[in-house]
Structure 1
Amino acid sequence: MAISVMNIRRYFSSKSLRLSLAGLLIINAGFSQNKIDSVQKVKEITIKAYLSEQPILQVPSSVSVISSKQLRDQPGISMLPALNSVPGIRMEERSPGSYRLSIRGSLLRSPFGVRNVKIYLDEFPLTDAGGNTYLNLIDVNSISNIEVLKGPDGSIFGANSGGVVLLNPLDRNADSSYASAGISGGSYGLFQEKLAIQKKMNNQYLNINHSYQKSDGYREHSAMSRHYAQLMYRLNYAKETSQLRVLAFVSDLEYKTPGGLTLAQYTANPQAARPSTNFAAGPVAQKARIENNTFYAGVVNDARITEKLKHVIAVYGTHTDYLNPFITNYEIRNENTAGLRTYLELSGKEDAKISWKWNAGLELQRTAADISNYDNLRGEKGKMQAQDDITSNQFFYFTRYSVNIGKRFTAEAAASINHYKYLFSKDIRSYATRFERKFDPEFMPRFAMSYQLNNNLALRSSVSRGYSIPTIAEVRASDNIINTGLESETGWNYEAGFRLRNNNDRLWLDASVFQYRLENAIVRRVNANDTEFYLNAGGTRQTGIETQSSYWLIAPGSKGLLNGLQIQNSYTLSKYFFRDYYNGTANYSGNRLTGTPRAVIISGLDFRFPKNFYLFAQHNYTSKIALNDANSVFSKDFNLVHFKAGWRSKSKQGKPGLDFFAGIDNLLNETYSLGNDLNAFGGRYFNAAPLRNYFGGVKMTL
């Protein structure tokens, strides 16, 4: 359905959007007045998401890039603040180590973890065949940059109804040897150490990263610790036109889960864990926690066969031991995943008036999960409650054709055919109750185009179909009942937008408006005994506006009191509603989508001072959030401010580079919940985030 002009006018009349646009006008005013530094060009933004590198101005999709600089500006403890600076993205932290990630409202079905968002690490899917992603295993310091494709994009990435995130662990073209070490600490027992070494050996590169992080947590029973080690080997061969890469990591993560609080408990003592009652022991008594030990390894060969033909193949496997004692039972999971992703790229002449590229490939995965549940006897395994063996198989074929005419007009047509099935066994010894759930093949097309009016302004539009199967954690939820009737989500997304820059790339503005109509939305419900289950809730109507801008008011490298000053802003307006949603006799049609704030505004200032001093400040405004489908309870809006300041010198021959930094998070000392338990039974919605807290550290590079 097309987005009406009346709706767009109504959105642009909102107060929060006017504030955001006012900020952009200030940026543009500065742009028009500042011509002295126009010759100083900032590095152009490029992306690799669509199988080959291209300037972001030409990309006919809603894509955001979080650069290594943007990651470095943040505290370096998690990806959360950097990802939340992207419009349309919401990352939450119920307690240290317990992360959730959503794109454009996909949090609806994620009480924890990441669902209906596809995540890749280099060319390797981090999302398993069961639809689950252990994003909290990854250390942010091992990531070079992040690319986010917003909206359903299954044309070349398979099943998802939210979007795609690509984590690029290293710059594939980095051409030097280095070593770095850092240590940092902060409030609530925060400690982190990180080591990185890269060795260049002719045309070979070996990179090793290691980190250890721990925290006592702000709340009672919320401590976490993680050991992470990552290895990446690169070999450039065939006259440096081809590359073989090996990537492996091992992560040992443990974090305690304090449980949600009622409003009265949250108001009286937000640091408390959920208390025990006469009917159920609390998380402290039950020693509720999650232990995740995962090994992941893969090999990718990126071969240039001829000048016009390239072939990429990635093979990988992963093993996870997962332990989760919680209030109602004691769960043990043993998971193994193997997969392959391969594609060909055939291209015409790049300097021709009409240039084109054609891709074709496939991706397949198989995840075998042995899940056992026992009575939880104060943190010890008791009598078995249930045992299931679930095997997930998914594969899809994809193709993409893109054409560029006259360096101005770009058009893309892409599609995938997705196959998916589960195999369940209630008795894994005899397979006596073995049965299969096979989903119909799904066709996921995508059409997009962009037109550059000039070298600095490009318009774009796209239409794409989303499809997301129910995950293992939803088919077999904590009630230990296999729900064979749960259907997949599907939907169509219609989008338009523009990108604007100036001649030296100091100004950047990206804006989009979209409407997504989702069918068979999956929602979470909670039983009286605190176990959960999932059901299809009809459809949703999701209309939104997203803008992201930045401008160097003073170009980096300038002389004077300030060597550089950049202003940043992102704005998200989410008008998301249920439609045709009935739960028993209750009619939730027309209610706001659960878990999604109406408006989010992120503003930042990056100061560069003489003698290598710097300061980064960021403000986050998030409006109230519906905590249940009935819209009877909302969280309060909140304002977060944080600072990071320090001194940084670059390494030179014979001299190490140093970076001393310190910062304050939640400067305004706001009491807020970052990671609400949606549709929680008994009103236990709230998971309090830390009050004002501090961090600091040092990093040395050789």
Structure 2
Amino acid sequence: MHQYRTLTLILILFTTHLFGQSSSVTGRILDIYNTPLQNVEVTNTAKQQFFSNANGYFELPKEGIYTFSKEGYHFQNLKLRSGKLYLIKLKPNTSQLNEVIVNANHIPKKLKNTSTSISIISTEDIERSNNINITSSLNRTPGIFMQTGALNTNRITILGIGSRNLFGTSKIRAYFKDIPLTDGSGNTALEDFELGSIGRIEVNKGAVSSIYGAGLGGTITLMPKPTIFGHHNLNNEFTFGSFGLLKNLTQLNLHTKKSGFNLTYSTTESEGYRDNNTYNRQTLTFNSTHFLTPKNELAILGSFVDLKAFIPSSLNEDDYLNTPTKAAFTWNSAKGFEDTQRGILGISWTHSFKPNLKQITSIFSSFRDGYEPRPFNILQENTKAYGIRSRLLGDSKLFNQNLKWTLGGEFFKDIHTYSTFENLYQDFPPGNGSVKGNELSNFKENRSYYNIFSEINQNLSKKTIVSFGINLNKTSYTLDDRYTVSQNNADQSGSYDFNVIVSPKFGLSHQFSRYSTFYANVSHGFSPISLEETLLPDGQINNSLKPETGWNFEIGSRGNAFNQKLQYTLSLYRLSVKNLLVARRTSEDQFIGINAGKTHHDGIEASLNYKVISSPFFNLNTTINATLNRYKFEDFVDDENDYSGNDLTGVPKEVINAIIDFSSRLNIYGNINFQYVGRIPITDSNNLYSDNYTITNLKLGFKKNINKNLKTNLFIGLNNIFDTKYASQILINASGFGGRAPRYYYPGNPFNYFGGINFNYSF
């Protein structure tokens, strides 16, 4: 045994010596979001060609100057030395997004080869406007519409799903990398997160349930700004604007040979356009990547948000038209606001068993503390959540064709406690604001779900890929009524346990030519019921409610034309939903959920991007994004009212964006964005619609390299240039109580401006 150990040690030392003397160069190539890039062409000055393997690794015979290039990415020229292990990252080329690798359904592939409707919102898209609100970035994306009543009051719909949620976003899943942002009741708040810390947004539209489970409308994945290897970097951006806007964003990027660190801190203040509209937010985001060994990677992601924002609420038609700056009377009298602290932390470990098999495991935790005085009561709540997500990702051969697959599961649990108290603001002099009174309720919810999922992508030929996926979901809630029950109050404790829901998916992608791809898919999805929707006025839980389920049918095409000057996407879809959940108002502050029928969501999405001028001196691009839909209640009976055949409430029939971008060798850049939004049905009876509107936004900037280490960027923007009056958010089916008119409208901001300066220092 001693001789065996000695021989082993000699062999190790000898091997180490050989490697130390080797003149070869080795390394790995990733995109900036750490996805391995296969078949990257590596060329030396002698025009010899080498390629990276399935995990992005490469080996070159000797040191020298090499060029790394791949379609869809900016090339890099690097001088490499022997004896070092290089980590090289390629940046996506936004003019060739169809060629970029996306992590759709966790099986990396080119965007043009995916079989589902996916949109990428790049860093350049985000920077087209200010970095205050995610709304403008999402609203330029076909199929998505985000309404904004205030910086902290938003509602997102995808393919019309989520339009019936009265306050906030639901029925859409959202992740910050692998960490769920959607709570156990299906509610999502993207607007709280710092936009400057986001590098890319991937939007999967429709019931892409084979991986993400409970998200009938789709999934929004926020990718944090990547760590930059190669140099240390300090970035600071200061923004000012109308309505007392002040924002400062500081980012620090550090790296070692195998680790990268990115830290973002921001403060945002605004007095707001309306009364009772002050906004104050601080955020801290941390993101790091660690390449521990050639087979092991570790990523850490954390975010903390501290927000206090006052709430002006919606207005009736007369106030909306004549005094849009005022807040709703009761909200202004109570000085209603939300005071929220929330944080998330996740750790992801990637282990490669071999080049074509790896496992990715993420554990995560989050919390949210909230305090919200409203005119009708004061809400105090706390949510703690934790979970784990793990999946195997493989790449093998079947009948001499590529077979890529993933198999995994996700478990999520959150504990939500909340109490309501009397708001005694009316007992005090005007201007005093909310005053906390006696306790009215005290609940504790335990909410959990798990998903087991699998997807297979099989190359039938070099041009045709089929995919099949399946998801198994189990969701359950328990409610503990911890309020001291009197003789006249019922104990509302109880449980709601869904049956196991199985959701399949089938997709096809066929490449007609190098620049044109056709795809089609059929998929099933569902959205869970929240506990609030199950509660009946008598305090019982309605176990007869069924979750909304739907089938998504879609065909589409992606590609390039005219010598790749034109990049396009086009899709036609139908999303059929049954067991439609309706919030029926029973009093000013109480709603109950009922299953009311079926809806059909038919639509067309199109995106065209054309390079009008492309030269070293001047670049001019034009983009047109359009969503045209016909969303209808197929079968909708609410109490004694039959709304079958009516337009779906809360979604515009048309959203069209036209964008012109330019940049020049003189370092001047800019864009102008025209957005048209069609009429929105406000009531289920369709007796009231909002007006259509067009708003125009402009941004101009000047970039200058002071020296090789310091870069500056000056910018100014004008929003709603023609001062259009419009409703930026609609409260559907609002009711007036006590003889007051219904408050349907959130006024959009009039003409406003912003400006700022950015310094970027490399050291």
Matches of 2:313 and 2:750, distance apart in 1:
18
Q: Is the 8 A contact 2:269 2:281 kept in 1?
A: yes
Q: Distance in 1 between matches of 2:482 and 2:587?
A: 28
Candidates 287, 293, 300, aligned match of 1:238: 293
Change in Cα spacing, 1:566 to 1:242, as seen in structure 2 (3 Å) is: farther
Cα distance between partner residues in 2 of 1:480 and 1:209 = 46
- Which of 521, 526, 534 is the aligned partner of 1:467? 526
Letter of the structure 1 residue corresponding to residue 616 of structure 2: S
Match of 2:726 in 1: 672
TM-score (normalised: structure 1): 0.89
The 1:524/1:396 distance shift into structure 2, 3 A limit, reads: same
8 Å contact kept, 2:619–2:664:
yes
- How far, CA to CA, are the matches of 1:299 and 1:490 in structure 2? 32
1:582-641 Cα deviation digits (max 9, x unpaired)? 122211111100001111111100011231101110000001000111111110000010
Aligned partner of 2:494 in structure 1 is: 435
1:538-577 per-position Cα deviation (integer Å, ceiling 9, x unaligned): 110111000011111112x433xxx100000111011001
- 1-structure distance, mates of 2:435, 2:385: 28
Q: Give the corresponding residue for 1:18.
A: none
CA distance in 2, matches of 1:410, 1:579: 34
Residue 659 of structure 2, aligned match among 572, 595, 604: 604
Distance in 1, matches of 2:522 and 2:577, equals 14
Q: For 1:48-91, what per-residue CA distance to the aligned partner results, in whole angstroms no more than 9, with x for missing partners? A: 22214321111111000011111111211111101100111011
Other-structure match for 2:366: 318
- In structure 2, C-alpha distance between the alignment counterparts of 1:91 and 1:459, rounded to whole Å: 28
SS in 1 for 2:163: helix
- CA contact 1:103–1:162 (8 Å) conserved in 2: yes
The superposition leaves residues 276-297 of structure 1 with CA deviations (integer Å, 9 ceiling, x where unpaired) of: xxxxxx0011121111101211
Q: Is contact 1:117-1:160 (8 Å) kept?
A: yes
- SS state of the match for residue 383, structure 2? strand
> Structure 1 CA distance, aligned partners of 2:216 and 2:536?
20
Residue of structure 1 in register with 2:697 after alignment: 642
User: Which has the larger displacement, 153-162 or 340-349?
Assistant: 340-349
Q: What is the CA–CA distance in structure 2 between the aligned matches of 1:74 and 1:309, rounded to whole Å? A: 41
Measured on the aligned residues, the alpha-carbon RMSD in Å equals: 2.2
Identity in percent? 26
- Name the structure 2 match of 1:9: none
Please say if 1:181 is aligned against 2:246: no
Alpha-carbon separation, structure 2, partners of 1:82 and 1:310: 34
Q: Secondary structure at the match of 1:310?
A: strand
Which is greater in Rg? 2
Report the alpha carbon displacement of residue 473 of structure 1 after superposing the two structures with TM: 4.9
Corresponding residue of 1:372: 419
Q: Residues 449-489 of structure 1, C-alpha deviation per residue, up to 9 Å, x if partnerless?
A: 01001101111100001100013454469998855443210
* 1:558 maps onto 2:616 in alignment: yes
Structure 1 counterpart of 2:525, one-letter code: G
Correspondent of 2:343 among 273, 295, 299: 295
2:546 equivalent among 482, 487, 491: 487
Q: Which amino acid aligns with 2:550?
A: G
What is the identity, as a one-letter code, of the residue corresponding to 1:118? R
**C-alpha separation in 1, matches of 2:228 and 2:296:** 12
Residue 194 (structure 1) aligns with: 249
Shift of 1:179: 1.1
User: Partner of 2:319: helix, strand, or coil?
Assistant: helix
Are positions 1:592 and 2:650 aligned together? Answer: no
Q: Secondary structure at the residue paired with 1:83?
A: helix
What is the distance in 1 between the residues matched to 2:584 and 2:275? Answer: 26
Q: How far has the Cα of 1:649 moved from its partner?
A: 3.2
Q: CA deviation at 1:177?
A: 2.2
8 Å Cα contact 2:491/2:539 also seen in 1: no
Find the partner of 2:309 among 240, 255, 280.
255
Q: State the TM-score, normalized to the length of structure 2.
A: 0.82
Give the equivalent residue in structure 2 for 1:13.
Answer: none
Q: 1:643 to 1:544 in 2, by over 3 A?
A: same
Alpha carbons of structure 1 residues 99 and 576: separation in structure 2 relative to 1, 3 Å: same
For residue 78 of structure 1, give the secondary structure of its aligned residue in structure 2: coil
Per-residue CA shift, 1:656-699, capped at 9, x if unaligned? 11110001000111111111111111221001011000000011
What secondary structure is seen at the aligned counterpart in 2 of 1:82?
Answer: helix
Query: Quick one: which amino acid aligns to residue 287 of structure 1?
Result: K
Residue 410 (structure 1) shift: 0.8
Cα shift readout 1:413-433 (whole Å, capped 9, x = no counterpart): 001100011001112799986
Structure 2: how far apart are the matches of 1:61 and 1:634?
32
Tell whether the 8 Å contact from 2:634 to 2:644 is kept in structure 1 after alignment: yes
Unpaired runs of 5+ residues, structure 2, are 1-93, 426-433, 737-741
- 616, 624, 635: which one pairs with 2:671? 616
Once the two structures are superposed, the pairs formed by residues 121-200 of structure 1 within 5 Å of their partners are 121-171=176-226, 175-200=230-255
1:24-65 Cα distance to aligned partner (Å, 9 max, x none): xxxxxxxxxxxxxxxx98574331222143211111110000
Matched, 1:358 2:405: yes
1:407 is displaced (CA, Å) by 2.5
Is the 2:146–2:157 contact (alpha carbons within 8 Å) kept by the matching residues of 1? yes
- 1:256 deviation in Å? 1.3
The counterpart of 1:520, out of the listed 558, 579, 586, is 579
Say which is worse superposed, 191-200 or 478-487, in terms of deviation: 478-487
The CA deviation at 1:171 is 2.9
Cα distance change of structure 1 residues 234 and 545 upon mapping to structure 2, 3 Å threshold? same
Residue identity in the other structure for 2:608 = S
Q: Would you say the 8 A contact 2:107–2:404 is kept in 1?
A: no
Which amino acid letter does the alignment assign opposite residue 354 of structure 2?
A: T
> Any idea what SS the aligned residue of 2:191 has?
helix
Match of 1:414 among 449, 469, 486: 469
With 637-646 and 94-103 compared, the bigger mean Cα shift is at 94-103
| Separation in 2, partners of 1:519, 1:249 | 37
8 Å CA contact retained: 1:251, 1:295: yes
Q: Tell me, in whole angstroms, the C-alpha distance in 2 between the residues paired with 1:202 and 1:589.
A: 63
Classify the secondary structure of the residue corresponding to 1:69.
helix
Relative to structure 1, the CA distance from residue 637 to residue 506 in structure 2 (aligned partners, 3 Å threshold; closer, same or farther) is same
Provide the residue aligned with 1:17 in structure 2. none
In structure 2, the CA distance between the partners of 1:650 and 1:130, relative to structure 1 (3 Å rule), is farther
Which consecutive residues of structure 1, in runs of 5 or more, have no partner in the other structure? 1-39, 276-281
Counterparts of 1:66 and 1:567, CA distance in 2: 16
